[in-house]
Chain A
């Protein structure tokens, strides 16, 4: 049956309004749960840089009792920016993807201090954010440094669209384990970072504190990871310098700033 134009327009308008209304209702209704899910995933990822999360029963409780976080700027100074809602931002609120698009000087850098359960003043590791480009799309991760701010305590990577089975292997525990115990500074003090070499079966003499086996078939992803590491470690360098010399002083300074 041929309908009049008026009917078609009214039908289309009504359909649009009804469907649009339903979808916005659903979106609003689900937002809190979505936020919670995202937060949980983030906390789990941060923790997995330092702990074996499979053994944890309550990830959020563990996170809250062992991580205290703060934000620094490119000079390693503590900053307390306000978020879009006007409330003070927490390190967990920093959208690293958005920050990545700014110039290195303008970015906010979240820092997660992993401390002992018994005594919160005893730092066990500092977890720093990483963000960069892989082969197809963005890659990111968290690197945990021991209190000497030189030894890698653990690392975790994630990616948006690396090739499954090749570049996507950066998310595998086995690959991330290779970073453990490696050093980011040369003896002279410059940042060497830890680099993935080409291929997976490098000669033992090629592997040292700064060079580890890479990913066969995913050299470009590995290069992206290398670049991301050195890029962000340099960005965090002013902070790393401060923490290296005086972790205890920094912690007491943090405590004094913390609203009780």
Chain B
């Protein structure tokens, strides 16, 4: 997959901004090539930050920002980056954007910053980010790389938001801190303590993967 993408297909000069080929950069990672459920990357943060929707949303935004901008810069520099040190250069670029996000959260969203604590910093080690830089941005033009990064970030985001939705709903009976069950008059809703532990995230992630694969027929190659 990555190899076919890396080969620059001979294109007409007037390719529309969102041609069929480019749309696939965005749609593929949402389902068929999902970074979390198919490639099984970024699991650590998918477990760690998904007890509540609000920090999860911020985390998704942070990852999207970091992915888009590090892909853009890597792609702009792709002909200048020496191949022998490319990994460390990619890391430096990612780390810079991650630290930037961390500092901005510290200043303007202190509560979420405290809640996410080390996990914003750990975006640096999120394999999805570096995976896309190495597999795509190093060999493609900036605009395509940005689309590709956006697609993968959305693929990651919808999964963690889905996991957080169920964890917060079943674990604390809330959505974005709003007491859903008491609002509909079900005061005695039994919240499930398992859901707020990482085990709950594994179970929900497993269910999502199950549904996804039974629909797509995807099987791991051995």
Residues of A within 8 A of B (CB): 1-3, 7-8, 11-12, 15-16, 19, 22-23, 26-27, 30, 33-34, 36-38, 40-41, 160-161, 163-166, 217
Bound-state CA distance A50–B104 (Å) is 31
CB-contact partner of A19 in B81, B92, B106, B117, under 8 A: B92
Judge if B6 is at the interface, Cβ distance under 8 Å: no
Bound-state CA distance A8–B104 (Å) is 32
How many chain B residues have a CB neighbour from A under 8 Å? 28
Also in contact, A3 and B103, with CB within 8 A (given A22-B96, A163-B197, A164-B196): no
Judge if B93 is at the interface, Cβ distance under 8 Å: yes
Q: Is the CB of B92 within 8 A of A23?
A: no
Q: How far is the CB of A36 from chain B (nearest CB, A)?
A: 8
| Chain B contacts for A22, CB-based, 8 A | 96, 100
Query: Chain B 93-111, CB within 8 Å of chain A: the 1/0 string?
Result: 1001001100110111011
Q: How far is the CB of A217 from chain B (nearest CB, A)?
A: 7
Bound-state CA distance A161–B107 (Å) is 21
Q: Is the CB of B80 within 8 A of A11?
A: yes
| Chain B contacts for A36, CB-based, 8 A | 107
Also in contact, A165 and B108, with CB within 8 A (given A2-B83, A8-B84, A19-B96): no
CB-contact partner of B110 in A15, A41, A166, under 8 A: A41
CB-CB nearest in chain A for B196: A165
| Chain A contacts for B196, CB-based, 8 A | 164-165
CB-contact partner of B107 in A3, A11, A37, A163, under 8 A: A37
CB-contact partner of A33 in B80, B84, B107, B193, under 8 A: B107
Known: A19-B92, A26-B99, A36-B107. 9 other contacts (CB 8 A): A8-B84, A11-B80, A11-B89, A12-B89, A30-B104, A30-B106, A37-B108, A41-B110, A164-B196
| Chain A contacts for B96, CB-based, 8 A | 19, 22-23
Is chain B's binding surface mostly helix, strand, loop or mixed?
helix
Bound-state CA distance A254–B23 (Å) is 69
| Chain A contacts for B117, CB-based, 8 A | 160-161
Q: Is the CB of A164 within 8 A of B82?
A: no
Residues of B within 8 A of A (CB): 51, 80-85, 88-89, 92-93, 96, 99-100, 103-104, 106-108, 110-111, 114, 117, 171-172, 193, 196-197
Bound-state CA distance A23–B94 (Å) is 12
Q: Is the CB of B171 within 8 A of A165?
A: yes
6 residue pairs, one from A and one from B, having the closest CB atoms: A165-B196, A33-B107, A37-B110, A3-B82, A30-B107, A34-B107
Q: Is the CB of A15 within 8 A of B99?
A: no
Bound-state CA distance A97–B34 (Å) is 42
| Chain A contacts for B82, CB-based, 8 A | 3, 7-8, 11
| Chain A contacts for B107, CB-based, 8 A | 30, 33-34, 36-37
Q: Is the CB of A217 within 8 A of B193?
A: yes
Q: Is the CB of A15 within 8 A of B51?
A: no
| Chain B contacts for A8, CB-based, 8 A | 82, 84-85
CB-CB nearest in chain A for B48: A164
Bound-state CA distance A161–B114 (Å) is 10
Bound-state CA distance A23–B83 (Å) is 25
| Chain A contacts for B106, CB-based, 8 A | 30, 34, 37
| Chain B contacts for A160, CB-based, 8 A | 117
Q: How far is the CB of B181 from chain A (nearest CB, A)?
A: 16
| Chain A contacts for B172, CB-based, 8 A | 165
Q: Is the CB of B80 within 8 A of A27?
A: no
Q: Is the CB of A40 within 8 A of B83?
A: no
Also in contact, A165 and B110, with CB within 8 A (given A23-B100, A26-B100): no
Q: Is the CB of A1 within 8 A of B83?
A: yes
Bound-state CA distance A19–B94 (Å) is 10
